[in-house]
Amino acid sequence: DAKTTQPTSMDCAEGRAANLPCNHSTISGNEYVYWYRQIHSQGPQYIIHGLKNNETNEMASLIITEDRKSSTLILPHATLRDTAVYYCIPSTSSNTGKLIFGQGTTLQVKP
Protein backbone atom coordinates (compact mmCIF):
# COMPACT_ATOMS: atom_id res chain seq x y z
CA ASP A 1 0.00 0.00 0.00
CA ALA A 2 1.26 3.45 -0.92
CA LYS A 3 2.22 5.73 1.95
CA THR A 4 0.82 9.25 2.12
CA THR A 5 2.01 12.50 3.66
CA GLN A 6 -0.45 15.25 4.47
CA PRO A 7 -0.09 18.44 6.53
CA THR A 8 -1.35 17.89 10.05
CA SER A 9 -3.54 20.98 9.99
CA MET A 10 -4.59 23.91 7.80
CA ASP A 11 -6.74 26.98 8.18
CA CYS A 12 -8.94 28.56 5.55
CA ALA A 13 -11.12 31.65 5.54
CA GLU A 14 -14.79 31.09 4.90
CA GLY A 15 -15.67 31.67 1.24
CA ARG A 16 -12.11 31.18 0.05
CA ALA A 17 -10.75 28.13 -1.73
CA ALA A 18 -9.19 25.43 0.44
CA ASN A 19 -6.30 23.59 -1.18
CA LEU A 20 -5.32 20.40 0.60
CA PRO A 21 -2.13 18.70 -0.61
CA CYS A 22 -1.18 15.05 -0.40
CA ASN A 23 2.09 13.37 -1.24
CA HIS A 24 1.86 9.76 -2.42
CA SER A 25 5.20 9.24 -4.12
CA THR A 26 5.06 5.44 -3.85
CA ILE A 27 1.67 5.10 -5.51
CA SER A 28 1.46 2.24 -7.97
CA GLY A 29 0.10 2.50 -11.49
CA ASN A 30 -3.22 0.85 -10.72
CA GLU A 31 -3.97 2.79 -7.54
CA TYR A 32 -6.58 5.51 -7.56
CA VAL A 33 -6.36 8.47 -5.20
CA TYR A 34 -9.42 8.66 -2.98
CA TRP A 35 -10.36 11.54 -0.71
CA TYR A 36 -12.64 11.17 2.27
CA ARG A 37 -13.43 13.53 5.09
CA GLN A 38 -14.67 13.05 8.61
CA ILE A 39 -16.65 15.72 10.35
CA HIS A 40 -16.36 15.50 14.12
CA SER A 41 -18.05 12.41 15.59
CA GLN A 42 -19.50 11.29 12.26
CA GLY A 43 -18.55 8.50 9.89
CA PRO A 44 -16.17 9.40 7.04
CA GLN A 45 -17.73 10.77 3.87
CA TYR A 46 -16.52 10.10 0.33
CA ILE A 47 -15.52 13.24 -1.57
CA ILE A 48 -13.88 12.35 -4.88
CA HIS A 49 -11.37 10.03 -6.51
CA GLY A 50 -9.16 9.95 -9.61
CA LEU A 51 -6.51 7.95 -11.41
CA LYS A 52 -4.62 10.24 -13.77
CA ASN A 53 -6.88 13.01 -14.96
CA ASN A 54 -8.17 15.89 -12.91
CA GLU A 55 -11.67 15.33 -11.60
CA THR A 56 -14.48 17.60 -10.47
CA ASN A 57 -17.80 16.94 -8.80
CA GLU A 58 -20.32 18.96 -6.86
CA MET A 59 -18.20 18.86 -3.73
CA ALA A 60 -14.64 19.40 -4.88
CA SER A 61 -11.94 19.23 -7.55
CA LEU A 62 -9.00 16.87 -7.57
CA ILE A 63 -5.74 17.80 -9.25
CA ILE A 64 -3.25 14.95 -9.77
CA THR A 65 0.28 15.74 -10.93
CA GLU A 66 1.45 14.20 -14.15
CA ASP A 67 3.88 11.86 -12.36
CA ARG A 68 1.03 10.94 -9.95
CA LYS A 69 3.27 11.43 -6.94
CA SER A 70 1.06 14.07 -5.40
CA SER A 71 -2.44 15.49 -5.57
CA THR A 72 -4.42 18.46 -4.31
CA LEU A 73 -8.02 18.51 -3.19
CA ILE A 74 -9.71 21.84 -3.81
CA LEU A 75 -12.84 23.00 -2.03
CA PRO A 76 -13.70 26.04 -4.16
CA HIS A 77 -15.70 28.04 -1.62
CA ALA A 78 -15.11 26.67 1.85
CA THR A 79 -17.87 27.00 4.44
CA LEU A 80 -17.84 26.43 8.19
CA ARG A 81 -19.45 23.03 7.53
CA ASP A 82 -16.31 21.97 5.66
CA THR A 83 -14.35 21.93 8.92
CA ALA A 84 -13.24 18.30 9.14
CA VAL A 85 -10.34 15.88 8.90
CA TYR A 86 -9.49 15.15 5.26
CA TYR A 87 -7.91 11.87 4.25
CA CYS A 88 -6.04 11.09 1.05
CA ILE A 89 -6.06 7.32 0.39
CA PRO A 90 -4.48 5.47 -2.53
CA SER A 91 -6.37 2.29 -3.34
CA THR A 92 -6.77 -0.13 -6.21
CA SER A 93 -10.23 -0.55 -7.67
CA SER A 94 -10.21 -4.16 -6.50
CA ASN A 95 -9.33 -3.22 -2.96
CA THR A 96 -11.46 -0.22 -2.02
CA GLY A 97 -13.23 -2.37 0.58
CA LYS A 98 -10.03 -2.06 2.59
CA LEU A 99 -9.14 1.59 3.04
CA ILE A 100 -5.91 2.41 4.84
CA PHE A 101 -6.37 5.75 6.58
CA GLY A 102 -3.42 7.92 7.51
CA GLN A 103 -3.53 10.78 9.97
CA GLY A 104 -5.17 13.17 7.53
CA THR A 105 -5.31 16.97 7.52
CA THR A 106 -7.50 18.83 9.97
CA LEU A 107 -9.02 21.72 8.04
CA GLN A 108 -10.38 24.55 10.14
CA VAL A 109 -12.58 26.98 8.22
CA LYS A 110 -12.76 30.29 10.02
CA PRO A 111 -15.35 33.06 9.65
Partner 1 sequence: KAGVTQTPRYLIKTRGQQVTLSCSPISGHRSVSWYQQTPGQGLQFLFEYFSETQRNKGNFPGRFSGRQFSNSRSEMNVSTLELGDSALYLCASSLVSQGLTDTQYFGPGTRLTVL
Q: Which residues bind partner 1 (CB under 8 A)?
A: 34, 36, 38, 42-46, 49, 87, 93-104
Q: Which is nearer to partner 1, 46 or 56 (CB)?
A: 46
CB of 111 to partner 1, least distance (A): 27
Q: Shortest distance, CB of residue 8 to partner 1, whole angstroms?
A: 12
Nearest one of 12, 45, 47, 44 to 33, comparing CA atoms: 47
- The number of C-alpha atoms within 13 Å of 57 and in the hemisphere containing its C-beta is 8
Which residue, among 18, 17, 22, has the nearest Cα to 7 in the 3D structure?
22
Yes or no: say if 7 and 105 are a contact pair by the CB < 8 Å rule: yes
State which residue, 41 or 53, has the beta carbon closest to partner 1: 41
C-beta of 65 vs 103, nearer to partner 1: 103
